[in-house]
């Protein structure tokens, strides 16, 4: 059974540019596989981290901007926004940024540290001889 680090290494070793290039050259069909490979190198796991998921917030920014504009309906604002006819007034930009940051604090999420690797994959040519 593979260790967790070995499992990640196998995944990283084949999920690469080499895999995309190999797929481009592979014709449709069924292939029998019996290959012994050697994977060696390093796998580095970064620290877990917390980050704001602000990508989930653009609708809020539009809504806040529309609410801040007295005298224009949300529908009219959205039309102007989509048409590129809307700029946030400079005097409201700082206030909007402050509100945005307060909201972003509610969208924090924990993420696992990034995994990077420097791996080499080579096929063991004489699998039967090496196993003996």
For 102-120, what is each residue's pLDDT tens digit? 777 777 888 889 988 888 8
Q: How many CA atoms lie within 13 A of 90 on its CB side?
A: 0
Give the span between the Cα atoms of 50 and 108, in whole angstroms: 6
Inter-residue contact 42 to 117 (CB < 8 Å): yes
Rounded Cα distance, 119 and 5, in Å: 12
Our measurement of the distance from residue 5's CA atom to the centroid of its chain's CA atoms, rounded to an integer in Å, reads 21
Highest averaged pLDDT of the listed ranges 7-21, 24-38, 95-109: 24-38
Nearest-angstrom CA–CA distance, 9 and 131: 22
Residues 4-20 have a mean pLDDT of 82
Q: What is the pLDDT of residue 132?
A: 46
Residue 78, pLDDT > 50, answer: yes
Beta carbons of 111 and 29 less than 8 angstroms apart: no
- Tell me the percentage of the chain whose pLDDT exceeds 90: 11
Q: Where are the domains of the chain?
A: 4-45+115-131, 51-109
> What is the C-alpha separation between 80 and 72, in angstroms, rounded?
10
pLDDT average, residue stretch 20-36: 87
Give φ, ψ of 27 to 5 degrees. Answer: -80, 155
Q: Which band of pLDDT confidence, cut at 50, 70 and 90, is reported for residue 83?
A: confident
| Nearest to 64, CA basis, from 36, 103, 121 | 103
């Amino acid at each position: 059974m593979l260790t967790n680090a070995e499992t990640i290494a196998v995944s990283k070793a084949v999920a690469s540019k080499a895999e995309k290039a190999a797929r481009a050259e592979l014709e449709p069909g069924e292939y029998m596989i019996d290959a012994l490979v050697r994977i060696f190198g390093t796998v580095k796991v970064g620290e877990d981290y917390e980050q704001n998921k602000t990508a989930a917030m653009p609708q809020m920014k539009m809504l806040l901007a529309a609410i801040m504009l007295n005298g224009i309906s949300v529908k009219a604002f959205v039309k102007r926004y989509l048409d590129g006819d809307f700029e946030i007034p400079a005097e409201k930009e700082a206030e909007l940024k402050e509100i945005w940051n307060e909201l972003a604090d509610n969208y924090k999420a924990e993420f696992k540290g990034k995994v990077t690797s420097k791996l080499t994959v080579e096929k063991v040519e004489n699998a039967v001889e090496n196993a003996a």
